[in-house]
């Protein structure tokens, strides 16, 4: 009883103290407030016609119809980076972009193409094309999001952390040589780099575009932002739409490069992996990336962090947050921020077409190189290797592995390749992070 009374009296004493402090603090600001309110806006009387006219000037219909209103582009970097929009950008361009956005909505909702990413990106694009609102500007919602985590490459790293926490390296550890397949698929990046240079991009832009071949959204955004920020929107959209199209793009290439017998090859059962191996692996990868390629450590470091937390088994709450809550929140922001680059003045340029073409080339080349590498390995390996699993070397976790599994099942029912394909798949994530590090180190 006594303790209770004591607590209550203590509470009241604190309450009295805080109110006194507040009361003594109050008078000073109130004085400033009266000074400010004395500067009133001068308001002139307006006729009804004038009011209606000025309102008409601020409508979206007028902004789209009047091509000579001198509207400025919205730039998250601030007013200095802005330029007047061309007539096309402020009128027809917006309408085209809004139609493209609706197409993305359709693909995401009706066709189920990576809806988790395409929907935020597409909606960001819709918001970015609203006239006069300057949502993608320095003080607009999209601009704030962009500056918060994309301009400084923060969000891609958070995504990588979540992906790390979701990844199980068991299949790779059980059969480490499949990592080479994840390396071969990075030919998609470097082969299409040559292609991009051929059609007239400069080296820096070509590098940024070709990273699409890594089939890794966060890495693409990370690199594009460093090497060619103007192309970020197109590169991110290309990367994510081709990742969504993995089940469409890959099977024909895989079938063209393999015979039916090769597709029917069954692979043995994987050995059981010791828990300690899984725990040590992220640290091993991180140590090597520190020694060989510190430029890639932001990506690999975040990835290793997520994976280490997961495998440690003592911080389930943290790893659960990374896998779910955190990655979901960041996905919303990342999508909206990337969507802000779908504004007509940034997306409807000739380069976008080139980026789409090179992206597709990069993806196909990566798949093909992975399959060919797997065929070579099958020739020299003691245990049989189904060449199909090479296609999973493009990262796109776990979509590419699932596609491999499906093609394998089509060739021979019961031929389950999923776990075997996960090895090259997660190696592909590391491989594309390393490739990204190489590209960054060249342009440092």
Applying CB under 8 A, the span of 119-127, 130-138, 288-296, 346-354 interacting with another protein comes to 288-296
Q: Does 186 bind another protein (CB under 8 A)?
A: yes
Using the rule CB under 8 A, give the single segment among 107-115, 289-297, 334-342, 376-384 that binds another protein. Answer: 289-297
Residue 267 Cβ vs another protein, minimum distance, rounded to whole Å: 18
Is residue 203 close enough to count as binding another protein by CB under 8 A?
A: yes
The yes or no reply on residue 282 touching another protein (CB under 8 A) is no
Measured in degrees and rounded to the nearest 5, phi and psi for residue 414 equal: 90, 0
Say whether residue 357 binds another protein (CB under 8 A): no
- Choice from 23, 42, 110, 276 touching another protein (CB under 8 A): 276
Does 363 bind another protein (CB under 8 A)? Our answer is no
Largest CA distance in the chain: 91
Contacting residues for 150 by C-beta, under 8 A, at least 6 apart: 156, 221, 225, 232, 334, 337, 338
Site mask, another protein, residues 155-184, x = CB under 8 A? -----------------xx--xx-xx-xx-
Q: With beta carbons less than 8 A apart as the criterion, state whether 63 and 91 touch.
A: no
Minimum distance from residue 303 beta carbon to another protein (Å): 13
Selected from 101, 119, 206, 355, the binder of another protein by CB under 8 A is 206
CA angle 158, 163, 164 (to 5 degrees): 95
DSSP letters, 59-126, are: SHHHHHH-TTS-PBPP-TT-GGG--BPPHHHHTHHHHHHHHHHHHHHHHHHTS-SSHHHHHHHHHHHH
Supply the minimum distance, in Å, between the C-beta of residue 269 and another protein. 16
Q: Tell me the C-alpha distance between 63 and 225, whole Å.
A: 31
Smallest gap from Cβ 227 to another protein, in A, equals 12
**Site membership for another protein, residue 21 (CB under 8 A):** no
Binding mask 421-440 for another protein (x = CB under 8 A): ------x--xx--xx--xx-
CB nearer to another protein: give 142 or 285: 285
Residue 442 binds another protein (CB under 8 A): yes
Apex 222 CA angle, 216 and 224, nearest 5 = 95
Element (H, E) at 428: helix 418-442
User: What are 149's two structure tokens?
Assistant: 């985590």
Nearest to 237 by CA among 73, 83, 361, 120: 120
What would the x/- binding string for another protein be over residues 216 to 255, using CB under 8 A?
Answer: ----------------------------------------
27-38 and 2-25 helices, crossing angle to 10°: 30
293-327 b/e with 16+ CB inside 10 Å = b? bebbbbbbbbbbbbbbbbbeeeeeeebebbbeebb
Residue from the set 284, 290, 353, 416 that interacts with another protein by CB under 8 A: 284
Q: Residue 94, exposed/middle/buried by CB under 10 A (0-12, 13-18, 19+)?
A: buried
Q: CB–CB of 240/121 below 8 Å?
A: yes
Least Å from the CB of residue 262 to another protein: 23
Residue 188 touching another protein (CB under 8 A): no
Query: ∠ CA 120-124-128 to the nearest 5 degrees?
Result: 175
CA angle 273, 274, 276 (to 5 degrees): 135
Binds another protein (CB under 8 A): choice among 116, 198, 248, 315 = 198
* 3-state DSSP assignment of residue 228: coil
293 binds another protein (CB under 8 A): yes
Nearer to another protein, 178 or 405 (CB): 178
3-state helix, strand, coil in the chain (%, to 5): 75, 0, 25
- DSSP H or E stretch at residue 439: helix 418-442
Residue 381 binding another protein, by CB under 8 A: no
Query: Which member of 277, 312, 320, 357 binds another protein (CB under 8 A)?
Result: 277
Binding of another protein by 55 (CB under 8 A):
no
Q: What is the C-alpha to C-alpha distance for residues 250 and 366, in angstroms, rounded to an integer?
A: 10
Total residues in contact with another protein, by rule CB under 8 A: 44
Query: Whose Cβ is closer to another protein: residue 21's or residue 283's?
Result: 283
Which residue in 191, 390, 398, 408 binds another protein (CB under 8 A)?
191
Q: What is the spatial distance between Cα 234 and Cα 242, in angstroms, rounded to a whole number? A: 12
Is residue 199 a contact residue for another protein (CB under 8 A)?
no
Q: Which member of 91, 258, 289, 364 binds another protein (CB under 8 A)?
A: 289
Note the residues at the interface with another protein (CB under 8 A). Answer: 172-173, 176-177, 179-180, 182-183, 186-187, 189-191, 193-194, 196-198, 202-203, 206-207, 272-277, 280-281, 284-285, 288-289, 292-293, 427, 430-431, 434-435, 438-439, 442
């Amino acid at each position: 009883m006594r303790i209770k009374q004591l607590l209550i009296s203590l509470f009241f004493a604190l309450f009295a103290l805080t109110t006194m402090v507040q009361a003594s603090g109050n008078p000073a600001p109130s004085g400033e407030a009266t000074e400010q309110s004395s500067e009133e806006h001068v308001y002139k009387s307006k006729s009804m016609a004038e009011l209606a006219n000025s309102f008409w000037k601020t409508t979206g219909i007028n902004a789209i119809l009047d091509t000579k209103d001198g509207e400025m582009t919205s730039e998250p970097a601030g007013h200095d980076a802005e330029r007047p929009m061309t007539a096309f950008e402020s009128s027809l361009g917006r309408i085209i972009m809004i139609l493209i956005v609706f197409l993305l909505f359709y693909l995401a909702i009706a066709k189920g193409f990576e809806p988790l990413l395409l929907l935020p990106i597409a909606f960001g694009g819709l918001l970015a094309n609203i006239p006069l609102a300057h949502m993608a500007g320095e003080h607009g919602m999209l601009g704030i999001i962009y500056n918060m985590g994309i301009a400084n490459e923060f969000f891609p790293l958070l995504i990588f952390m979540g992906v790390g926490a979701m990844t199980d390296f068991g299949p790779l550890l059980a059969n480490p040589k499949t990592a080479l397949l994840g390396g071969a698929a990075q030919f998609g990046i470097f082969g299409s780099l040559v292609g991009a240079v051929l059609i007239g991009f400069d080296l820096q832009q070509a590098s940024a575009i070709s990273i699409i071949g890594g089939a890794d959204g966060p890495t693409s955004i990370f690199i594009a932002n460093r090497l060619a920020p103007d192309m970020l929107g197109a590169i991110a959209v290309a990367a994510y739409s081709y990742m969504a199209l993995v089940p469409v793009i890959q099977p024909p290439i895989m079938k063209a490069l393999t015979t039916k017998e090769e597709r029917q090859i069954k692979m043995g059962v994987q050995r059981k992996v010791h828990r300690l191996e899984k725990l040590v692996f992220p640290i091993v990868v991180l140590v090597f990336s520190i020694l060989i390629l510190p430029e890639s450590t932001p990506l690999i470091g975040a990835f290793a962090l997520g994976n280490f937390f997961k495998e440690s088994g003592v911080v389930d709450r943290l790893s659960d947050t990374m896998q779910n809550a955190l990655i979901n929140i960041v996905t919303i922001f990342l999508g909206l921020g990337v969507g802000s680059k779908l504004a007509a003045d940034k997306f409807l340029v000739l380069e976008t077409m080139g980026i789409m073409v090179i992206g597709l080339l990069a993806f196909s080349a990566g798949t093909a190189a992975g399959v060919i590498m797997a065929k070579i390995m099958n020739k020299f390996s003691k245990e049989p290797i189904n060449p199909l699993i090479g296609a999973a070397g493009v990262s796109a976790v776990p979509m590419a592995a699932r596609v491999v599994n499906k093609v394998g099942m089509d060739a021979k029912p019961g031929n389950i390749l999923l776990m075997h394909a996960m090895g090259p798949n997660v190696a592909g994530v590391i491989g594309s992070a390393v490739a990204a590090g190489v590209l960054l180190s060249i342009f440092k």
